[in-house]
Amino acid sequence: MLDFLPELPVAEWIDNFVDWTKSAFSFAFDPIKNEFGDFIEGTAELLSEVPPSIIIIIVALLAFFISGKKVGLPIFSIIGLLFILNQDIWEELMFTFTLILFASVISVVIGIPLGILMSKSRWAQIIITPILDFMQTMPAFVYLIPAVVFFGIGMVPGVFASVVFATPPVVRFTNLGIRQVSSELVEAADAFGTTGSQKLFKVELPMAKKTIMAGVNQTVMLSLSMVVIASMIGAPGLGDLVLSALQRSQGGQGFVAGLGIVILAIIIDRMTQNLNKGK
């Protein structure tokens, strides 16, 4: 079909652009790959050296107070983490948690300001919305390609791919939350002569907190969902165990590692949800 039209060399254009970007910005990519990569791995190794009992106690106490001094989440956290420790996959859990932590923090730091910008500027919303659509509809595996090209293999490309995949929800929810703030409150703030920054930090962001936190929760969970995919480019952790079990047809090991991911996901999800309830 359409034989009369020449084939556009889109793949070649993209390859040339990637090569140019890698060469032109190597001064930025190399330090991220080396220094930042060492920092991430050092953090994971440091957590691995902390006695598991101390981490379990800290997590249980956090769960207890965040859940409003209810015992359900703390008990589940203790039992789940003890199971992971019993299955000798504690170190992998620490690497997985580190990847999620850095990916989530970077996504939130980037996403909330972008959401605020979208809520304040019509042109920003027009420009950013299709980019977010692209980021959310593109298969997650595709993000691994530029991650490997720019940062090699390991934790850094895993974090990079997770950030690209997980940032859109917090951007959209921040934009939505601020736009849903009552116009009467905004008009009252204007009537009292508040500046733009005062109105944002004292009226709009506090009123939009629940919506923004819902976006943060989704971002964290999407970062967690990238764990197994990131293992395909050398990111260590529970995802690497799942991938290895798949390659070797080891159903038992794969189930145990997958169960570890589920336990971590439930703990993080319940904690962020309870934070959103203001408990």
pTM: 0.87
Task: Indicate if the pLDDT at residue 186 is higher than 90.
Answer: no
End-to-end Cα distance, the chain: 61
pLDDT at 2 (0 to 100): 54
pLDDT at 278 (0 to 100): 55
pLDDT at 126 (0 to 100): 92
**Average confidence score pLDDT of the chain:** 86
What is the rounded average pLDDT of the residues 253-262?
Answer: 90
Burial-class residue 233 by CB neighbours within 10 Å (0-12, 13-18, 19+). Answer: buried
What is the rounded average pLDDT of the residues 227-252?
Answer: 84
Domains of the chain: 26-276 (1.10.3720.10)
User: Which positions ≥6 away from 213 have C-beta within 8 Å?
Assistant: 272, 275, 276
Element (H, E) at 264: helix 251-276
pLDDT tens-digit map of 13-72: 888 887 888 787 777 777 888 888 888 889 988 998 999 999 999 999 999 998 888 888
What is the rounded average pLDDT of the residues 196-211?
Answer: 86
